[in-house]
Structure 1
Amino acid sequence: MRRLAHTSAGPVGSYTPRDAYSPYVVEQLRAAARSDVDQALRRLTLEGPMLLEQGQDPRVAGWDSDANVLWEIHRSRGMLTRQQLAQQVGQSLADEHSPGRLAPLLYPTSRDLFALLLLFCLESGMELEAARDLTSDCLKNPNRGYVQIEYLKRRRHGQEWNTIRVRDGSSNSPGGLLRLALRLTVAIRETTGSSALWQFRTKEGILTTGFSTSAVTHMARRFVSAHGISDESRPVELRLSRLRKTYKAAVYKVTGGRMSAFVQGHSPDVAAAHYANIPSLRDLHEQAVADGLQDAFNEARSPSVLTPEEEEHLIQRPIEAGQLLGVPPKEIGPLLSGASDLWLSSCRDFFDSPFGTKGKACPVSFFGCLGCGNAVITRRKLPAILAFLNHIEAERAKTPEAEWTARFGEARKQILRLILPKFSASDVLSAKAVAESLEPLLFLPSNLFGGL
């Protein structure tokens, strides 16, 4: 109902939020980022350490070896630059064994960590500003495949520390992605002494301790260009600030718009205005309206089924007839005594049918009561209903399926899903025995015999 209320209320204010990325774009982003991360893992955990083991002090073993130059890069904690190397060994060797090419075997690059940051935002839904400021001790209380992430939430009037609980363990989970980032940045963090999570080495040999807004924008453009990510043949304009909307939209769709699962980190009004009121969710909202109207229509067409306990309660307290059945207390007697009986139910008003004109007799077939809001079904009508169920099942064997479904399908569904589950197994068993012991004509409405 909150979805219907939000849809009918319209947008809050005049602000139109950015839309989420389409599933097609998201899959491209996810695949490209995962490719970059996998390459970084192989380079930093296998290729780099293997080459480093082969290296020796280049002052003794010579500078004409990648392994030896990498040894020196490691000794200098990543600070060796091509200019410094050129001063020692000349420009030719410095170009051939460039620290800019070799250092990424030991230290992550901005491209490596950008891919990890992108994947983390896609999988966790954390705001970009908060994700950029994560620290190396942000993982708290791991337990049974989940972990808490402590982060700094920036607000209009200040900052506060929050935590979210996310999946952990696999390299595709939010917790697992942060563990990968911790593994890849350990060498830089030991050098800088900073607790910032996203630390990398630039081509110029500078060890950075975070992503600036301009750096993220620049890397996003390079990422899209390098991987050829497009939407309808046009390059995607990648803004990491839209990834939270993309995550929220996916949650919204999976939960069918259930606001309690959607508002994490926001008030319901903010969640609705900024994350639910976006073009990519319009179809879901329109379907919610259609579903709501269909539910209301179905409810109007469904009979009221009284259990024996409810029937007894109304006999004792007819004043509650309006609340339970929507009829005046004086009308409860005929409904429960049988005076208002038709074949399969009692009828609130045979001359005020939702299928006909007020003042005229109900025009639908004798079993139309099973789809009528005027009908009231009690235990007394179970034998007739079960006899009718036997009849329509017998008709199924000798009637084309499409014809049988059109004539009896909805009635059968109402009996099996709405009516019989309201009664005890004992009541149904007794009614079945009665139905099987009587001739079918005895179940015709008594008013058909009035002229006999």
Structure 2
Amino acid sequence: MFLERRRGRTTRHAVDPSGYQCATLASQLADEWIKLTRRMSLSGGGSEYSGAVRSFAKFTDKYLSEAGTDPAVARLDGQAVDLVEVLYAWEGDLRQKYGPKSKQPYRRARALLALIHQRATASPGIPEYLRQRAKAPASYGKPTPQPLDEFSNAERIALRDAARAAVRATEARLDRGRELLAAGNDPRIGGWGDLPNLVWATRARMVNSQVLQTHLPAKSRWWPREVVDLLPVPEGKSRGPGVRALGRELGRLLFPDEFDLQAFRVLLLLGMTDTTPEELHDLETGDIEFTDGGLRLVQTKLRASRIRADLHPEVELKSGGEEFTGDGSWDVPGLIRRLLAATALIREVFDPDPYLFVAVRQAASDGELRGSVAQFKSPRYRFGFWIASQRDGQGRPLKISDPYEVRRLRKTTKVVRAVALGGTVSDLAGDDNHVEVYRGYYGHGTTAHIMAGRAINRSQEWVFNRLVHKPVLVDEVAEERLEEPEVAEELGMNVEVAKAMRAGELDMGLTNCRNPYDSPQRTDNKLCHVAPAMCMLCRNAVIFYSQLPRLLLMSDRIERMRTALPPPRWHAIYGQQRVALDEVFAECADRLPAARQQITELEIRLDLPLGQRTEFDR
């Protein structure tokens, strides 16, 4: 037998072979479980292995009895029963019981096979067919679950705001309870009809269903008004709330329950980027140390067997910034202080285990209040129930996407960190994850995909802007002053080139060229051979307003070719030129009607070299 103590609860793990018909087989497997647990110093007493032994022994009793075989003859080192057949049938039964998406069939089969393999290694009496089966993997592999996506930014803000409102409401309720407590007296002296006296009795642990039923009138409508007002509004029930509901509400005036703690839990998980829900739940008061700079937390990650200390600095509020109500700010140190203050009376009255999350629960038997470590497992205390109970500023239910998994909060904080840093995967993984873990569990989310898409678009735009150059558009004023050194230098040319350009010596058919012997299309310093067709994509091109009619004719030609060529070929030949022309036209849109009129009045034609005309038309 092994005892496991976690979060204030002690769990007993044991296997009693006498409780099964196959007592010998159960005893042999239990021996292997004890050996393996001690040898490997398994945390939790090797509960996975003991559970597998109990499950297999129970199934063996049923399976062999239905087959007409006495389960008592089953043993690992015997030939009377084909245990391999029983193993396969047991795995199939687990699969049917838990479903194809459950990990239990894989885990239990793997655990039992490990025990049999350990026995086979140390004992020569194990049959060969059972020995070989123990070496093989489980019949059903470990299912791959669908990774959880993070909450969207709007959902994160909605959850944060709802949690803050819930914390304020909890603190206001507890403040009222303390005021009533200060005004109350022993009800055995002052009477049970006053609410402050009932609160005093609750603090003294004198209240349960039997006591309230004895000292209060039989029907709740005969109770004092301030006591009746404390009761919750009945929801479609024929019978209104009674002494049990009153005892619960009296307790909530002094002590938070797990529903109240959910708000603190949500805010802390949103504020602690490197803390899992399990680490947060396992925090004890001894792991918390307030320093001059903030808060130091000692956290334990069980799966990684790692203990680390994290420092959460205080967040200083700037003057004129956000105003907070309550007992502190919303940073991690402030939230921990507020949580400790809210649960201080629980520790004083009930002396529970020294965990951070402690709450009061009403006993099902007598309605007595008991303080213990919060588990967040009861249906009315789970994360999903808390979300369904929240309302936004307009009183409407929160619009939060399924599933209501608290683990999504951690993924959300990881994504917020990724957005803030915008760095490499190693930066985003942080100190508490390997790069591969981050890729597998956090890098798949919607926000990560959007960020990756934006990064790709930015890089493509960067490359395109450097590969594709649009011409320089020169208006009439700049054209008249083109030979001035300052103007020519601004346009990337010297005075001699500017004079030649104004004289029409550098006109390439569609545009002017600052240097026809420096074409980006060739490296031999010879005259450009692709003008004028590629001038719109050349860094040397200079356009005068007088050349707009020719550009319009070129634009018309490109549009005609759209119908003559397959789309992929048209985009390959004309796509970038179309974009470059559109950018030029956007800069001088008011000049285009006049240019169109010049084409008609002067009967301007577009002249292209025959070779290029043939190349583009075929």
TM-score normalised per structure 1: 0.60
Question: 1:423-445: per-residue Cα shift (whole Å, max 9, x none)?
Answer: xxxxxxxxxxxxxxxxxxxxxxx
Higher relative contact order (CA 8 A, sep 6+): 1
Question: Using a 3 Å threshold, how does the CA distance of structure 1 residues 401 and 84 change in structure 2: closer, same or farther?
Answer: farther
Aligned to 1:283: 450
Question: Radius of gyration: which is bigger?
Answer: 2
Question: 1:278-323: per-residue Cα shift (whole Å, max 9, x none)?
Answer: 1232221111112223334456679xxxxxxxxxxxxxxxxxxxxx
- CA distance in structure 1 between the aligned counterparts of 2:173 and 2:398, rounded to whole angstroms: 34
- CA distance in structure 2 between the aligned counterparts of 1:122 and 1:269, rounded to whole angstroms: 23
- CA distance in structure 1 between the aligned counterparts of 2:362 and 2:204, rounded to whole angstroms: 17
Please give the residue correspondences for 1:121-160 in structure 2 after superposition, counting only pairs within 5 Å. 121-125=269-273, 126-140=275-289, 142-144=291-293, 146-155=294-303, 159-160=305-306
Deviation at 1:195, TM superposition (A): 1.0
Aligned to 2:247: 99
Deviation at 1:164, TM superposition (A): 2.6
Deviation at 1:143, TM superposition (A): 4.0
Amino acid in structure 1 at the alignment position of 2:358: Q
Aligned to 2:192: 63
How many residue pairs get aligned? The number is 319
Residue 210 (structure 1) aligned to one of 361, 373, 392: 373
Question: 1:405-452: per-residue Cα shift (whole Å, max 9, x none)?
Answer: 9xxxxxxxxxxxxxxxxxxxxxxxxxxxxxxxxxxxxxxxxxxxxxxx
- CA distance in structure 1 between the aligned counterparts of 2:373 and 2:281, rounded to whole angstroms: 7
Please say if residues 82 and 100 of structure 1, whose CA atoms lie closer than 8 Å, have aligned partners that are also in contact.
no
Amino acid in structure 1 at the alignment position of 2:308: N
- CA distance in structure 2 between the aligned counterparts of 1:243 and 1:184, rounded to whole angstroms: 23
Please say if residues 136 and 195 of structure 1, whose CA atoms lie closer than 8 Å, have aligned partners that are also in contact.
yes
Please give the residue correspondences for 1:53-452 in structure 2 after superposition, counting only pairs within 5 Å. 53-76=182-205, 80-89=207-216, 91-92=218-219, 95=243, 98-125=246-273, 126-140=275-289, 142-144=291-293, 146-155=294-303, 159-168=305-314, 171-190=329-348, 191-204=350-363, 205-212=368-375, 214-215=377-378, 218-228=381-391, 236-264=402-430, 265-298=432-465, 343=493, 353=520, 361=528, 368=539, 403=587
Deviation at 1:38, TM superposition (A): 0.2
Question: Using a 3 Å threshold, how does the CA distance of structure 1 residues 231 and 65 change in structure 2: closer, same or farther?
Answer: closer
Amino acid in structure 2 at the alignment position of 1:61: G
Aligned to 1:328: none
Two-structure CA RMSD over aligned residues (Å): 4.1
- CA distance in structure 1 between the aligned counterparts of 2:455 and 2:379, rounded to whole angstroms: 37
Deviation at 1:224, TM superposition (A): 2.1
Aligned to 2:503: none
Please say if residues 279 and 299 of structure 2, whose CA atoms lie closer than 8 Å, have aligned partners that are also in contact.
yes
- CA distance in structure 2 between the aligned counterparts of 1:208 and 1:357, rounded to whole angstroms: 87
Deviation at 1:97, TM superposition (A): 9.4
The 10-residue stretch of structure 1 (280-289 or 253-262) with the greater mean CA deviation from structure 2: 253-262
Aligned to 1:388: none
Residue aligned with 1:212, SS: coil
- CA distance in structure 2 between the aligned counterparts of 1:160 and 1:107, rounded to whole angstroms: 33
Question: Using a 3 Å threshold, how does the CA distance of structure 1 residues 108 and 355 change in structure 2: closer, same or farther?
Answer: farther
Residue aligned with 1:162, SS: strand
- CA distance in structure 1 between the aligned counterparts of 2:398 and 2:189, rounded to whole angstroms: 58
Please say if residues 64 and 97 of structure 1, whose CA atoms lie closer than 8 Å, have aligned partners that are also in contact.
no
Q: Which runs of 5+ in 2 are unaligned?
A: 1-142, 224-241, 316-327, 470-491, 495-515, 542-583, 590-618
Deviation at 1:247, TM superposition (A): 0.9
Deviation at 1:216, TM superposition (A): 7.5
Please say if residues 65 and 97 of structure 1, whose CA atoms lie closer than 8 Å, have aligned partners that are also in contact.
no
Amino acid in structure 2 at the alignment position of 1:172: W
- CA distance in structure 2 between the aligned counterparts of 1:193 and 1:232, rounded to whole angstroms: 34
Please say if residues 121 and 244 of structure 1, whose CA atoms lie closer than 8 Å, have aligned partners that are also in contact.
yes
Question: Using a 3 Å threshold, how does the CA distance of structure 1 residues 95 and 246 change in structure 2: closer, same or farther?
Answer: same
Question: Using a 3 Å threshold, how does the CA distance of structure 1 residues 97 and 68 change in structure 2: closer, same or farther?
Answer: farther
Amino acid in structure 2 at the alignment position of 1:247: T
Residue aligned with 1:214, SS: coil
Aligned to 1:24: 154
Deviation at 1:258, TM superposition (A): 4.0
The 10-residue stretch of structure 1 (258-267 or 180-189) with the greater mean CA deviation from structure 2: 258-267
- CA distance in structure 2 between the aligned counterparts of 1:42 and 1:355, rounded to whole angstroms: 78
Please say if residues 139 and 175 of structure 1, whose CA atoms lie closer than 8 Å, have aligned partners that are also in contact.
no
Deviation at 1:253, TM superposition (A): 1.6
Deviation at 1:40, TM superposition (A): 0.8
- CA distance in structure 2 between the aligned counterparts of 1:197 and 1:253, rounded to whole angstroms: 31
Question: Using a 3 Å threshold, how does the CA distance of structure 1 residues 15 and 358 change in structure 2: closer, same or farther?
Answer: farther
Please give the residue correspondences for 1:2-41 in structure 2 after superposition, counting only pairs within 5 Å. 16-41=146-171
Deviation at 1:222, TM superposition (A): 2.1
- CA distance in structure 2 between the aligned counterparts of 1:61 and 1:355, rounded to whole angstroms: 104
